Amino acid sequence: MINVERLSRFFLDLAHIESPSRREGKVASYLQEKFEALGARCLFDDSASKTGSEVGNLIVKYPEETSSPLLFMAAHMDTVEPTENPRIRLENGVFRSDGRTICGADDKSALAIFLEILHVLEEKGLRYPLEFVITTCEEIGLLGAKHLDYRLVDAPFGYALDSEDPDELINRAPEAIRFQIKVLGLAAHAGLNPEAGINAITLAGKAVSLVRLGRIDHETTANIGIIRGGTATNIVPEEVELLGEVRSHNHLKLEEEWEHIRSTFEEIVEAEREPGKDRPQVSFSREQDYPLMHVPEDHQVVRLALEAARRLGRKLKISATGGGSDANIFNGRGLPCVILGTGMRRVHSTEEYLPLKDLVRACELSLQIVLEAGAAAR
Protein backbone atom coordinates (compact mmCIF):
# COMPACT_ATOMS: atom_id res chain seq x y z
CA MET A 1 0.00 0.00 0.00
CA ILE A 2 2.82 2.40 0.81
CA ASN A 3 4.31 4.11 -2.22
CA VAL A 4 7.98 4.18 -1.19
CA GLU A 5 9.05 6.54 -3.97
CA ARG A 6 6.33 9.04 -3.04
CA LEU A 7 7.14 8.79 0.67
CA SER A 8 10.81 9.45 -0.11
CA ARG A 9 9.92 12.44 -2.25
CA PHE A 10 7.82 13.94 0.52
CA PHE A 11 10.67 13.59 2.97
CA LEU A 12 13.23 15.10 0.61
CA ASP A 13 10.90 18.01 -0.18
CA LEU A 14 10.41 18.71 3.52
CA ALA A 15 14.07 18.21 4.45
CA HIS A 16 15.12 20.83 1.91
CA ILE A 17 12.92 23.49 3.50
CA GLU A 18 14.75 25.39 6.23
CA SER A 19 12.58 25.53 9.33
CA PRO A 20 14.56 26.23 12.49
CA SER A 21 12.46 27.10 15.52
CA ARG A 22 10.40 30.27 15.03
CA ARG A 23 10.99 30.13 11.25
CA GLU A 24 8.46 27.47 10.33
CA GLY A 25 6.46 29.57 7.86
CA LYS A 26 7.71 27.93 4.65
CA VAL A 27 7.22 24.36 5.80
CA ALA A 28 3.77 25.28 7.11
CA SER A 29 2.82 26.64 3.67
CA TYR A 30 4.08 23.47 1.99
CA LEU A 31 2.05 21.30 4.35
CA GLN A 32 -1.09 23.40 3.96
CA GLU A 33 -0.94 23.11 0.18
CA LYS A 34 -0.40 19.33 0.28
CA PHE A 35 -3.05 18.63 2.91
CA GLU A 36 -5.70 20.79 1.29
CA ALA A 37 -5.05 19.09 -2.08
CA LEU A 38 -5.93 15.83 -0.33
CA GLY A 39 -9.28 17.14 0.87
CA ALA A 40 -8.25 18.19 4.38
CA ARG A 41 -9.01 21.41 6.25
CA CYS A 42 -6.07 23.30 7.73
CA LEU A 43 -6.41 25.51 10.79
CA PHE A 44 -3.70 27.65 12.34
CA ASP A 45 -4.07 28.68 15.96
CA ASP A 46 -2.95 31.99 17.47
CA SER A 47 0.08 30.58 19.28
CA ALA A 48 2.55 32.59 17.16
CA SER A 49 1.88 35.66 19.31
CA LYS A 50 3.17 33.70 22.32
CA THR A 51 5.95 31.60 20.77
CA GLY A 52 7.42 34.23 18.44
CA SER A 53 7.11 31.89 15.46
CA GLU A 54 6.26 33.03 11.95
CA VAL A 55 3.15 30.86 12.13
CA GLY A 56 0.83 29.17 14.57
CA ASN A 57 0.44 25.47 15.23
CA LEU A 58 -1.23 23.61 12.36
CA ILE A 59 -4.28 21.45 13.07
CA VAL A 60 -5.33 19.37 10.06
CA LYS A 61 -8.79 17.80 9.86
CA TYR A 62 -9.33 15.01 7.35
CA PRO A 63 -11.62 14.85 5.57
CA GLU A 64 -12.45 18.54 5.53
CA GLU A 65 -15.94 18.15 6.98
CA THR A 66 -14.95 15.78 9.81
CA SER A 67 -16.09 16.65 13.33
CA SER A 68 -15.43 13.37 15.18
CA PRO A 69 -11.91 12.16 14.37
CA LEU A 70 -10.88 8.67 15.43
CA LEU A 71 -7.48 9.78 16.64
CA PHE A 72 -4.77 12.37 16.11
CA MET A 73 -1.19 12.04 14.97
CA ALA A 74 1.31 14.67 16.06
CA ALA A 75 4.70 15.95 15.00
CA HIS A 76 6.62 19.22 15.02
CA MET A 77 7.68 21.25 12.02
CA ASP A 78 10.71 22.98 13.52
CA THR A 79 14.24 21.60 13.58
CA VAL A 80 17.45 22.37 15.41
CA GLU A 81 20.25 24.10 13.54
CA PRO A 82 22.43 24.15 11.43
CA THR A 83 19.92 24.27 8.60
CA GLU A 84 21.26 26.78 6.08
CA ASN A 85 20.94 25.63 2.46
CA PRO A 86 20.45 21.93 3.26
CA ARG A 87 21.55 19.29 0.78
CA ILE A 88 19.90 15.99 1.66
CA ARG A 89 20.40 12.87 -0.42
CA LEU A 90 19.26 9.25 -0.43
CA GLU A 91 22.28 7.04 -0.86
CA ASN A 92 22.50 3.28 -0.29
CA GLY A 93 19.06 3.32 1.30
CA VAL A 94 19.87 6.05 3.84
CA PHE A 95 18.96 9.73 3.94
CA ARG A 96 21.84 11.98 5.02
CA SER A 97 22.94 15.58 4.70
CA ASP A 98 26.20 16.56 3.03
CA GLY A 99 27.67 17.04 6.51
CA ARG A 100 27.11 20.79 6.83
CA THR A 101 23.59 20.63 8.23
CA ILE A 102 21.22 18.32 10.02
CA CYS A 103 19.26 15.84 7.92
CA GLY A 104 15.86 16.99 9.21
CA ALA A 105 14.53 13.55 10.08
CA ASP A 106 13.60 15.02 13.48
CA ASP A 107 10.75 15.52 12.81
CA LYS A 108 10.11 15.82 9.08
CA SER A 109 10.10 12.05 8.74
CA ALA A 110 6.79 12.15 10.61
CA LEU A 111 5.38 14.85 8.35
CA ALA A 112 6.22 12.78 5.27
CA ILE A 113 4.44 9.82 6.86
CA PHE A 114 1.30 11.90 7.45
CA LEU A 115 1.14 12.93 3.80
CA GLU A 116 1.67 9.37 2.60
CA ILE A 117 -1.07 8.06 4.91
CA LEU A 118 -3.61 10.45 3.43
CA HIS A 119 -2.56 9.57 -0.12
CA VAL A 120 -3.12 5.88 0.61
CA LEU A 121 -6.51 6.54 2.22
CA GLU A 122 -7.57 8.62 -0.75
CA GLU A 123 -6.44 5.95 -3.20
CA LYS A 124 -8.36 3.26 -1.31
CA GLY A 125 -11.43 5.44 -0.85
CA LEU A 126 -11.16 5.18 2.94
CA ARG A 127 -11.90 8.64 4.27
CA TYR A 128 -11.42 7.72 7.91
CA PRO A 129 -11.74 10.87 10.05
CA LEU A 130 -8.34 11.91 11.40
CA GLU A 131 -6.56 14.90 12.89
CA PHE A 132 -2.94 15.89 12.57
CA VAL A 133 -1.50 18.23 15.20
CA ILE A 134 1.70 19.82 13.94
CA THR A 135 3.44 22.14 16.35
CA THR A 136 6.03 24.88 16.16
CA CYS A 137 8.95 25.58 18.50
CA GLU A 138 9.15 22.06 19.93
CA GLU A 139 12.93 22.18 19.96
CA ILE A 140 13.08 25.26 22.19
CA GLY A 141 11.00 24.12 25.12
CA LEU A 142 7.88 22.53 23.59
CA LEU A 143 6.51 26.04 23.20
CA GLY A 144 4.07 25.24 20.41
CA ALA A 145 2.39 22.46 22.38
CA LYS A 146 2.36 24.58 25.53
CA HIS A 147 0.48 27.34 23.70
CA LEU A 148 -1.66 25.15 21.43
CA ASP A 149 -5.33 26.08 21.23
CA TYR A 150 -6.70 22.78 22.51
CA ARG A 151 -10.24 23.81 21.60
CA LEU A 152 -9.29 22.96 18.01
CA VAL A 153 -8.41 19.34 18.83
CA ASP A 154 -11.37 16.95 18.80
CA ALA A 155 -9.70 13.52 18.74
CA PRO A 156 -9.83 11.51 22.00
CA PHE A 157 -6.21 10.25 21.90
CA GLY A 158 -3.20 10.20 19.65
CA TYR A 159 0.33 9.29 18.65
CA ALA A 160 3.37 11.57 18.53
CA LEU A 161 5.83 10.40 15.88
CA ASP A 162 9.02 11.76 17.36
CA SER A 163 11.42 9.00 18.34
CA GLU A 164 13.91 6.61 16.78
CA ASP A 165 12.90 2.95 16.80
CA PRO A 166 9.92 2.14 14.54
CA ASP A 167 9.33 -1.02 16.60
CA GLU A 168 9.00 0.78 19.91
CA LEU A 169 6.09 2.46 21.65
CA ILE A 170 6.93 4.89 24.46
CA ASN A 171 4.20 5.27 27.05
CA ARG A 172 6.18 6.78 29.92
CA ALA A 173 8.28 9.92 30.16
CA PRO A 174 9.42 11.92 33.18
CA GLU A 175 8.17 15.22 34.45
CA ALA A 176 10.77 17.95 34.67
CA ILE A 177 11.38 21.23 36.43
CA ARG A 178 13.86 23.95 35.56
CA PHE A 179 15.39 25.97 38.35
CA GLN A 180 17.47 29.08 38.93
CA ILE A 181 19.68 29.67 41.95
CA LYS A 182 21.29 33.04 42.70
CA VAL A 183 24.03 33.38 45.29
CA LEU A 184 24.73 36.94 46.41
CA GLY A 185 28.05 37.66 48.05
CA LEU A 186 29.90 40.96 48.48
CA ALA A 187 32.17 42.68 45.99
CA ALA A 188 35.64 43.90 46.96
CA HIS A 189 38.96 44.64 45.25
CA ALA A 190 40.62 41.30 44.67
CA GLY A 191 44.13 42.68 45.19
CA LEU A 192 43.75 45.44 47.77
CA ASN A 193 41.25 44.00 50.24
CA PRO A 194 39.84 40.62 49.21
CA GLU A 195 39.10 39.96 52.89
CA ALA A 196 36.27 42.49 52.68
CA GLY A 197 34.51 40.51 49.99
CA ILE A 198 32.37 37.39 49.97
CA ASN A 199 33.09 35.26 46.92
CA ALA A 200 29.76 34.11 45.51
CA ILE A 201 31.44 31.69 43.11
CA THR A 202 33.29 29.98 45.95
CA LEU A 203 30.06 29.52 47.90
CA ALA A 204 28.24 28.19 44.86
CA GLY A 205 31.12 25.82 44.16
CA LYS A 206 30.96 24.40 47.67
CA ALA A 207 27.26 23.75 47.30
CA VAL A 208 27.60 22.21 43.83
CA SER A 209 30.26 19.83 45.15
CA LEU A 210 27.77 18.52 47.71
CA VAL A 211 24.57 18.11 45.68
CA ARG A 212 23.68 14.91 43.88
CA LEU A 213 23.91 15.36 40.11
CA GLY A 214 23.66 13.04 37.14
CA ARG A 215 21.66 9.82 37.44
CA ILE A 216 20.18 9.68 40.92
CA ASP A 217 18.36 6.37 40.40
CA HIS A 218 16.56 4.53 37.62
CA GLU A 219 13.76 7.12 37.65
CA THR A 220 15.49 10.40 38.44
CA THR A 221 18.21 12.68 37.05
CA ALA A 222 19.48 16.12 38.04
CA ASN A 223 21.79 18.57 36.33
CA ILE A 224 23.26 22.04 36.76
CA GLY A 225 24.13 23.03 33.22
CA ILE A 226 24.85 26.77 33.28
CA ILE A 227 26.85 28.86 35.77
CA ARG A 228 27.27 32.58 35.25
CA GLY A 229 29.03 34.98 37.59
CA GLY A 230 31.66 37.63 38.15
CA THR A 231 32.44 40.82 36.30
CA ALA A 232 36.25 41.14 36.31
CA THR A 233 39.34 39.25 37.43
CA ASN A 234 40.21 41.98 39.95
CA ILE A 235 36.83 42.00 41.68
CA VAL A 236 35.67 39.43 44.22
CA PRO A 237 32.54 38.12 42.45
CA GLU A 238 29.39 39.40 44.14
CA GLU A 239 26.82 37.30 42.34
CA VAL A 240 26.56 33.96 40.60
CA GLU A 241 23.59 32.40 38.82
CA LEU A 242 23.11 28.67 38.32
CA LEU A 243 20.56 27.08 35.98
CA GLY A 244 19.57 23.44 36.13
CA GLU A 245 16.87 20.83 35.94
CA VAL A 246 15.47 17.80 37.72
CA ARG A 247 13.61 15.01 35.92
CA SER A 248 11.83 12.01 37.38
CA HIS A 249 9.19 9.41 36.61
CA ASN A 250 8.17 9.76 40.27
CA HIS A 251 6.77 13.08 41.48
CA LEU A 252 7.81 12.53 45.10
CA LYS A 253 11.38 11.77 44.05
CA LEU A 254 11.48 14.91 41.96
CA GLU A 255 10.37 17.00 44.93
CA GLU A 256 12.86 15.26 47.21
CA GLU A 257 15.71 15.97 44.81
CA TRP A 258 14.76 19.61 44.47
CA GLU A 259 14.56 19.95 48.25
CA HIS A 260 18.02 18.38 48.55
CA ILE A 261 19.47 20.93 46.11
CA ARG A 262 17.69 23.86 47.73
CA SER A 263 18.57 22.94 51.32
CA THR A 264 22.22 22.28 50.42
CA PHE A 265 22.65 25.77 49.01
CA GLU A 266 20.84 27.30 51.96
CA GLU A 267 23.05 25.51 54.48
CA ILE A 268 26.27 26.53 52.75
CA VAL A 269 25.23 30.17 52.52
CA GLU A 270 23.86 30.40 56.06
CA ALA A 271 27.05 28.88 57.46
CA GLU A 272 29.05 31.76 55.93
CA ARG A 273 26.76 34.54 57.18
CA GLU A 274 28.03 36.30 60.29
CA PRO A 275 25.55 37.31 63.00
CA GLY A 276 23.88 40.64 62.22
CA LYS A 277 24.99 40.58 58.56
CA ASP A 278 22.70 40.31 55.54
CA ARG A 279 25.29 38.75 53.22
CA PRO A 280 25.70 36.21 51.72
CA GLN A 281 22.21 35.42 50.47
CA VAL A 282 20.68 32.78 48.22
CA SER A 283 17.41 32.86 46.27
CA PHE A 284 15.59 30.23 44.25
CA SER A 285 13.02 30.04 41.49
CA ARG A 286 11.60 27.02 39.68
CA GLU A 287 9.07 26.27 37.00
CA GLN A 288 7.61 23.14 35.51
CA ASP A 289 9.14 22.32 32.16
CA TYR A 290 6.70 19.53 31.33
CA PRO A 291 4.38 17.19 33.25
CA LEU A 292 4.67 13.47 33.85
CA MET A 293 3.58 11.17 31.03
CA HIS A 294 2.32 7.68 31.91
CA VAL A 295 -0.27 6.07 29.65
CA PRO A 296 -1.44 2.68 31.03
CA GLU A 297 -0.73 -0.32 28.84
CA ASP A 298 -4.40 -1.25 28.81
CA HIS A 299 -5.43 2.13 27.35
CA GLN A 300 -6.99 2.03 23.90
CA VAL A 301 -4.17 4.10 22.40
CA VAL A 302 -1.66 1.39 23.37
CA ARG A 303 -3.87 -1.59 22.55
CA LEU A 304 -4.64 -0.20 19.10
CA ALA A 305 -0.95 0.13 18.25
CA LEU A 306 -0.16 -3.35 19.54
CA GLU A 307 -2.93 -4.83 17.43
CA ALA A 308 -1.74 -2.90 14.36
CA ALA A 309 1.76 -4.27 14.86
CA ARG A 310 0.38 -7.79 15.28
CA ARG A 311 -1.50 -7.48 11.99
CA LEU A 312 1.80 -6.61 10.35
CA GLY A 313 3.52 -9.61 11.92
CA ARG A 314 5.51 -7.46 14.31
CA LYS A 315 5.79 -6.97 18.04
CA LEU A 316 6.08 -3.50 19.56
CA LYS A 317 8.21 -3.15 22.65
CA ILE A 318 6.75 -0.80 25.26
CA SER A 319 9.35 1.49 26.79
CA ALA A 320 10.02 4.50 28.96
CA THR A 321 12.18 7.45 27.95
CA GLY A 322 14.23 9.95 29.89
CA GLY A 323 13.33 12.86 27.64
CA GLY A 324 10.34 15.15 27.32
CA SER A 325 8.32 15.87 24.19
CA ASP A 326 5.05 17.33 22.99
CA ALA A 327 3.44 14.09 24.18
CA ASN A 328 4.07 15.15 27.78
CA ILE A 329 2.18 18.36 27.17
CA PHE A 330 -0.71 16.61 25.40
CA ASN A 331 -1.09 14.16 28.28
CA GLY A 332 -0.95 17.01 30.75
CA ARG A 333 -3.85 18.63 28.91
CA GLY A 334 -5.95 15.45 29.15
CA LEU A 335 -5.16 14.01 25.71
CA PRO A 336 -3.67 10.51 26.08
CA CYS A 337 -0.76 10.27 23.68
CA VAL A 338 2.09 7.79 23.21
CA ILE A 339 5.26 8.14 21.15
CA LEU A 340 6.24 6.15 18.07
CA GLY A 341 9.56 6.06 16.24
CA THR A 342 10.22 6.99 12.62
CA GLY A 343 13.75 5.65 12.17
CA MET A 344 15.62 8.91 12.82
CA ARG A 345 19.14 8.42 14.19
CA ARG A 346 21.82 10.68 15.72
CA VAL A 347 19.40 13.56 15.85
CA HIS A 348 20.48 17.09 16.78
CA SER A 349 23.77 16.68 14.94
CA THR A 350 25.15 16.94 11.43
CA GLU A 351 25.58 13.14 11.58
CA GLU A 352 21.80 12.66 11.68
CA TYR A 353 20.52 10.04 9.26
CA LEU A 354 17.34 8.15 8.37
CA PRO A 355 17.26 4.62 6.92
CA LEU A 356 14.54 4.43 4.29
CA LYS A 357 13.52 0.93 5.40
CA ASP A 358 12.81 2.25 8.91
CA LEU A 359 10.84 5.18 7.55
CA VAL A 360 8.73 2.71 5.56
CA ARG A 361 8.21 0.48 8.63
CA ALA A 362 7.07 3.50 10.62
CA CYS A 363 4.71 4.55 7.86
CA GLU A 364 3.26 1.04 7.58
CA LEU A 365 2.61 0.89 11.31
CA SER A 366 1.04 4.36 11.42
CA LEU A 367 -1.21 3.53 8.48
CA GLN A 368 -2.21 0.21 10.04
CA ILE A 369 -3.16 2.00 13.26
CA VAL A 370 -5.49 4.21 11.24
CA LEU A 371 -6.94 1.20 9.44
CA GLU A 372 -7.51 -0.64 12.73
CA ALA A 373 -9.22 2.40 14.23
CA GLY A 374 -11.40 2.80 11.15
CA ALA A 375 -12.39 -0.86 11.14
CA ALA A 376 -13.25 -0.74 14.84
CA ALA A 377 -15.37 2.36 14.33
CA ARG A 378 -17.37 0.59 11.63
- pLDDT tens figures, 34-52: 999 999 999 999 999 999 9
Same domain, 201 and 126: no
Do 84 and 333 touch, CB atoms closer than 8 A?
no
What CATH code is carried by the domain that includes residue 134?
A: 3.40.630.10
Query: Can 352 be counted among the known catalytic residues?
Result: no
| Least confident window among 66-75, 88-97, 149-158 | 66-75
Rg of the chain over CA atoms, in angstroms? 24
Can you point out the beta strands (E) in 237-316? 239-248, 281-290, 293-294
Do 3 and 122 touch, CB atoms closer than 8 A?
no
Same domain, 165 and 299: yes
**β-strand 130-135 against 58-62: which pairing, if any?**
antiparallel
Model confidence pLDDT, tens digit, residues 143-154: 999 999 999 999
> Is the pLDDT confidence value at 262 over 90?
yes
Confidence label for 67 from pLDDT (cuts 50, 70 and 90): confident
The single residue of 18, 107, 116, 138 carrying the catalytic annotation is 138
Q: Which residues pair with 43 in a beta bridge?
A: 59
Q: What is the distance between the alpha carbons of residues 291 and 301, in angstroms, rounded to a whole number?
A: 19
Query: Can 154 be counted among the known catalytic residues?
Result: no
Same domain, 125 and 20: yes
Same domain, 341 and 213: no
Q: Which residues pair with 215 in a beta bridge?
A: 221
The single residue of 24, 78, 257, 372 carrying the catalytic annotation is 78
Burial tier of 232 (Cβ tally within 10 Å: 0-12, 13-18, 19+):
exposed
Which has the closest alpha carbon to 309: 357, 367, 355?
367
Of 249, 267, 289, the residue that ends a domain is 289
> Is the pLDDT confidence value at 65 over 90?
no
Model confidence pLDDT, tens digit, residues 177-221: 999 999 999 999 999 999 999 999 999 999 999 999 999 999 999
Same domain, 59 and 198: no
Same domain, 154 and 224: no
Which has the closest alpha carbon to 75: 61, 59, 97, 54?
59
Q: What is the mean pLDDT of the chain?
A: 97
The single-letter DSSP state of residue 79 is B
What CATH code is carried by the domain that includes residue 266?
A: 3.30.70.360
Confidence label for 66 from pLDDT (cuts 50, 70 and 90): confident
Cα torsion angle, 248, 254, 257, 261, sign: positive
Q: What is the distance between the alpha carbons of residues 341 and 314, in angstroms, rounded to a whole number?
A: 14
Of 266, 289, 312, the residue that ends a domain is 289
Q: Helix, strand, or coil here: 215? A: strand
Same domain, 53 and 163: yes
Same domain, 190 and 331: no
The whole domain housing 272 covers: 175-289
User: What pLDDT does 282 receive?
Assistant: 98
Same domain, 237 and 310: no
Confidence label for 17 from pLDDT (cuts 50, 70 and 90): very high
> Is the pLDDT confidence value at 295 over 80?
yes
Same domain, 134 and 41: yes
Q: Helix, strand, or coil here: 229? A: strand
Do 9 and 119 touch, CB atoms closer than 8 A?
no
Q: How many structural domains compose the chain?
A: 2
Model confidence pLDDT, tens digit, residues 225-244: 999 999 999 999 999 999 99
Query: Which element (helix H / strand E) includes 329?
Result: helix 326-332
Same domain, 133 and 33: yes
Same domain, 211 and 328: no
**β-strand 158-163 against 214-217: which pairing, if any?**
unpaired
Of 289, 315, 339, the residue that ends a domain is 289
